[in-house]
Structure 1
Amino acid sequence: MKPVARCILTTAIVVGLAGPGAMAQTVTVDTLFDVSDFGGQQRVADLPGADGRVSFREAVAAANNTAGPQTIEFAIPTDEWWLVDDIALLELQWGAFVVRDDETTIDFSTQTDFTGDTNPNGTEVGIYGLEGNGWGTPAIIIDASDCVIRGLGYVWQRGHAISIWGGHRNRVVGCVTTDVEIDPYPDHSAFNVIGGTAPEDGNTLQSVSLVCGADDNLVIGNHVETVFVGASRYCDTSSRNRIGGPTPAERNIISGFGSYSGEGFPIGAGVEVSWATDTLIEGNYIGVNEAGTARVPQTGPVGVDISDSDNTTVRDNLIAGLWVRGRNHYDGRIFGEAVRVNSINRDNLGTVIERNRIGTDHTGLNRIQTRNGIVVSQFTGIYSPHGTRIGGTEPGQGNLIAFCDVVGVGIGPLIEDAEVSGNSIHSNTGLGIDLSTWSGFDGVTQNDPGDGDTQGGNLLQNFPVLTGATSNETAVRVEGSLNSRPSRAYRVEIFANAECDPTGYGEGEVYLGAVEVFTDSQGDADFTVDLAGTLPDGGWVTATATDIAQGATSEFAACLQAETGCVADFNGDGDVNTLDVLTFLNAWNAADPSADIDGDGDVNTLDVLAFLNLWNAGC
């Protein structure tokens, strides 16, 4: 049996939408027994039946058969309550309660107005399934549009608390129950909202499922253990669904998910996307508490699990606390990945992971124990994720990935095109970026001449070799070379670090900028790049190389400690004099990148002013 949470379905009541003469009406349920003894056309006007009471089944049938918007409220006397003494448990004996009339509102929260707040931990009306063999079916089915369910409580002995099978623009709000699913196959259901931005609209749920033709739906402002978005090859994909949003009010708190298999292997994810298209996961707290300060105990080893899908975006989330110990046969083994991108039954395409905080608290300054940060890998040797982008080249696209027990970013051995750009990656126990071989995430993979080795993540792209680094109050100059495949364009990204990684390679705490290089016929390219920014005293620089056409990024280069330099000593002879002015002006007239003194990416008169100010100051 799946646990059920309370939920509220609420819809706006607009007189006249159902046509001339259609009036909004309210029906009050005053018994918890599952009976139906009213006659006539079984409309609202025919209530109550012979027993003088109105059951929930009668109220739903009357709403379905009466034109116009209807509201169902609750006032069940406490002398009928049974099994538990703090809520009215509606009996369900004769199949699901099916809502087929548009603009129906079912407001379970009105029971509180009748009896008071008898259940401080939830709402006052739940449902108990007494129907034989009914455990796999829903308690409430919505097959209509513009309906609202508000304040449903716990549901026992049913497969789902609420299922939306058809229609559009329905809302489920204020419930504390087991789950909500949108499963309209073979039709499609769109623009439904689970939760809301008002404090009273968020649900507390064990799960939300958007499957098989659930399109353009929102899941916002809830406390939920797990969210599933997707389908399978046997039904229509689910498209353009959004989990969370850009504002704090739209944030879902997703935690407490997962379970153990019979052999003790931990399974489950906070958000799982499988066989879906254009899913957006944005602004959520996953694996942590509502304050974003600590891990919530859970068994599921993955924060966001993406497979067999197209164009999934994971943006602006806090994902941490993914650290689980196995049991039984897996006792002693530790599992955990904040984000996993993989393929099982088809290629996964175009995943974007940007602007997230992974392995940290909400400030980004403190550790919340996490096993691995982002892992892109394959489940079998047949299919593979392609076109995964972690961070980006535009300002603000980078992720913060820090304090992980193993790798910050891990790329599996069959992955050919995972781009890792513009991120802040630091303080991870293993490598910041680890290109796996068939031996697993095994530490630094050294460069090979001509970059011909391909038996590993991102085809084991070679990293740059840094040969010089100087810094002053405003800029950093880095020199180095790259040996890789011949006659190809690469983007070399430069990073600053307060300390060098213990391995001597990376990590990349502060992204300084990038330079594009083109290898010659031998696969060699030299570079000198001046970047705006500063380094701490004794600071270090490192770099990555990305094959631009392939979209494959290397591990971090060996870090190099920067020397304190003097920009005004432009010719590097150790003396600041007029020869430096002449050398600078020659470079400036030639639009050489070294003359970009202010590091804005453009060589112009502002650079002349910046250089002369430094020259007049003596350095």
Structure 2
Amino acid sequence: AGERNLIGGAEHSGLLITGAATSGNTVAGNWIGVDGSGQSALRNKVAGVVLSDGAQANTIGGPGQGNLLSGNDIGIYLDSAAGNLIAGNIIGLAADGKTPLGNSTGGIFAINAAQNNQIGGTTPALRNVISGNGAPGTPFGQGIYIADTNSAANEILGNYIGTSSSGIAPAGNYRQGILIGAGAQNNQIGGTTPGAGNVIAYNGLGGIRIDSPYNRVQGNLVGVGGDGKTRLGNQSNGVRIGGNNNTVGPGNIISNNQHSGLLLLGSYTTVRANTFEQNGRSGVCVAGPNTTLDANLVRGNGTSSGSWPECSIRGGIVITSTDDTLVTDNTITGNADAGITVYGGQSNSLLGNSISGNLGLGIRLLSGGNNNVTAPLLRSTANDMLRGQSCASCRVEVFTDTTNQGRDFVGATVAGSDGSFALALDPEKLSGPRLTATQTDALGNTSPFATAVAAPRPAPPPPPATSWLYLPIAQR
């Protein structure tokens, strides 16, 4: 504490680092924007720290030497700055790490060709706590805001965004935890290496919003505390994607958020190997074309009631008024309405998924969704051969389940030109008592599940062999 600077009350920035030749500097252990108690603001009017005009390879904080940056207009402002490290700081809370003392406009801004900056890191010592930022009346109010088409290749790793320094108590930012917009691209939120994921929870307008292309969201806890179980849902969607060609996954856990876990408005989004659980409205809502959802777990969503301005249908996965969605190899279970709803739109293919235990239908088509393609008709399982009728030359996928949904994939076949199909069954390998099926036409429209029929039972085992032993009669 004896080496701490108190930097506050400036008409511009508390600290300005500027120019491409300005590199290799470290700002460590200071209180910037607060008074000596660490509990009250001593505002710097533009930002606590500004790095601008090419300032590069500087460190704000560091392991064991983080700064307290609270009570300013903006905590840290990266304006045309590159290759800087921001780590180990508290941004937006008081010195106790839990009381909100926000930077009124936002926590960290990275704009105007801010590139290759690292916010946080993969160890706890590099973690920033970015919480409590924003206020009514500002157009911003995010924990982190990245903007401009040339703001690229920035990494946001291992931070607590919207919680106290404990990671399990709420201290949300006023609007989103993270907003990437105005064309900023090739930025990464989280990662696949241990410790790279962020905790993004309890923020006012959602956890993450991305309105620009080619960004990645991986390995984060969104709506969950740092212990992986405390329910700290963001107060809108967990993740909202408005830009094109973004990637969500692998490894995100997106749970407990008030609206959808993931709302997709952009095109060509890939969503792979994530968990969407106990979100109020839906696990995933797809409202943009050419989306791929693959190998995700979607369970327990849709428990809230009410009306919402975006994607108002509840359930596991909702595809609304859009085309060419590919939903493959997901597990969709225990949702409070339909497992998958297709509302309007065409050529939405639902292939190889495990769909079971949802309170509504397994697959539901509304308002002409998928051209209202009908379910196939299952006729017979005689001689361990499932026979039925579908649309001509359509792909028929067969499942077992305890009800009329499709928990376990059995196999697939293509119907003949007259629509008839047959699929050989091995009763020893059927895991459920009922068989059902879907059909997908040549345009990629998948039907609801067929009315189930009883699955053939394995042949009973042969009776045990009986042998006789004859003994001689004893003479007395």
Category of TM-score, reference length = shorter chain: 0.7 to 0.9
1:190 aligns with 2:94: no
Which of 316, 339, 353 is equivalent to 1:408?
A: 339
CA shift, 1:67, in A, is: 3.7
Matching of residues 84-483 of structure 1 within 5 Å: 84=39, 91-94=43-46, 97-100=49-52, 101-107=55-61, 110-111=64-65, 125-129=68-72, 139-155=76-92, 156-165=102-111, 166-173=113-120, 174-178=127-131, 179-185=142-148, 187-195=149-157, 201-205=158-162, 206=173, 207-220=177-190, 221-225=197-201, 226-231=206-211, 238-244=212-218, 250-255=219-224, 256-259=232-235, 268-287=236-255, 296=256, 298=257, 300-307=258-265, 309-323=266-280, 336-342=281-287, 348-359=288-299, 372-378=315-321, 385-391=322-328, 398-412=329-343, 414-437=344-367, 456-469=368-381, 477-482=385-390
| Inter-CA distance 91–510: structure 2 relative to 1 (3 Å threshold) | same
1:81 aligns with 2:4: no
Amino acid at match of 1:160: G
| Cα displacement string for residues 38-82 of structure 1 (whole angstroms, at most 9, x for unaligned residues) | xxxxxxxxxxxxxxxxx9734x33x648543221112559x9514
Provide the C-alpha distance between the structure 1 equivalents of 2:20 and 2:396, rounded to a whole number of angstroms: 68
Please give the secondary structure, in 1, of the residue aligned with 2:6: coil
| Cα displacement string for residues 236-273 of structure 1 (whole angstroms, at most 9, x for unaligned residues) | xx2221111xxxxx3434343454xxxxxxxx200000
Taking structure 2 as the reference length, the TM-score comes to 0.74
Please give the secondary structure, in 1, of the residue aligned with 2:371: helix
Which of 417, 420, 426 is equivalent to 1:519?
A: 417
CA shift, 1:532, in A, is: 8.8
Which of 442, 447, 452 is equivalent to 1:554?
A: 447
| Cα displacement string for residues 334-380 of structure 1 (whole angstroms, at most 9, x for unaligned residues) | xx1111011xxxxx2211111111115xxxxxx996851001113xx
Structure 1, unaligned runs of 5 or more: 1-27, 37-54, 113-123, 196-200, 232-237, 245-249, 260-267, 288-295, 324-335, 343-347, 361-366, 379-384, 392-397, 438-455, 501-505, 568-619
Greater helix percent: which structure?
1
Provide the C-alpha distance between the structure 2 equivalents of 1:286 and 1:257, rounded to a whole number of angstroms: 9
Amino acid at match of 1:158: S
| Inter-CA distance 564–66: structure 2 relative to 1 (3 Å threshold) | closer
Please give the secondary structure, in 1, of the residue aligned with 2:435: strand
Provide the C-alpha distance between the structure 1 equivalents of 2:342 and 2:151, rounded to a whole number of angstroms: 37
Provide the C-alpha distance between the structure 2 equivalents of 1:285 and 1:228, rounded to a whole number of angstroms: 13
Provide the C-alpha distance between the structure 1 equivalents of 2:27 and 2:21, rounded to a whole number of angstroms: 13
Which of 436, 444, 455 is equivalent to 1:542?
A: 436
| Inter-CA distance 167–29: structure 2 relative to 1 (3 Å threshold) | farther
Provide the C-alpha distance between the structure 1 equivalents of 2:115 and 2:129, rounded to a whole number of angstroms: 23
| Cα displacement string for residues 379-399 of structure 1 (whole angstroms, at most 9, x for unaligned residues) | xxxxxx1110111xxxxxx11
Provide the C-alpha distance between the structure 2 equivalents of 1:431 and 1:76, rounded to a whole number of angstroms: 56
| Cα displacement string for residues 191-229 of structure 1 (whole angstroms, at most 9, x for unaligned residues) | 11101xxxxx43334401111222111111111034434
Please give the secondary structure, in 2, of the residue aligned with 1:282: coil
Provide the C-alpha distance between the structure 1 equivalents of 2:31 and 2:341, rounded to a whole number of angstroms: 57
Provide the C-alpha distance between the structure 1 equivalents of 2:114 and 2:76, rounded to a whole number of angstroms: 18
Cα contact 1:29–1:56 (8 A) shared by 2: no
Report the equivalent of 1:583.
Answer: none
Amino acid at match of 1:168: Q
Cα contact 1:496–1:512 (8 A) shared by 2: yes
Provide the C-alpha distance between the structure 2 equivalents of 1:526 and 1:65, rounded to a whole number of angstroms: 69
Amino acid at match of 1:162: I
Report the equivalent of 2:123.
Answer: none
Provide the C-alpha distance between the structure 1 equivalents of 2:246 and 2:426, rounded to a whole number of angstroms: 36
Structure 2, unaligned runs of 5 or more: 93-101, 121-126, 132-141, 163-172, 191-196, 225-231, 305-313, 461-476
Cα contact 1:229–1:273 (8 A) shared by 2: yes
Alignment: residue pair count: 391
Amino acid at match of 1:418: N
Report the equivalent of 2:7.
Answer: 32
Cα contact 1:34–1:94 (8 A) shared by 2: no
Provide the C-alpha distance between the structure 2 equivalents of 1:388 and 1:65, rounded to a whole number of angstroms: 46
| Inter-CA distance 184–406: structure 2 relative to 1 (3 Å threshold) | closer
Taking structure 1 as the reference length, the TM-score comes to 0.58
Q: Equivalent pairs: percent with the same residue?
A: 22
| Inter-CA distance 423–311: structure 2 relative to 1 (3 Å threshold) | same
Cα contact 1:193–1:219 (8 A) shared by 2: yes
Provide the C-alpha distance between the structure 2 equivalents of 1:83 and 1:96, rounded to a whole number of angstroms: 14
| Inter-CA distance 191–430: structure 2 relative to 1 (3 Å threshold) | same
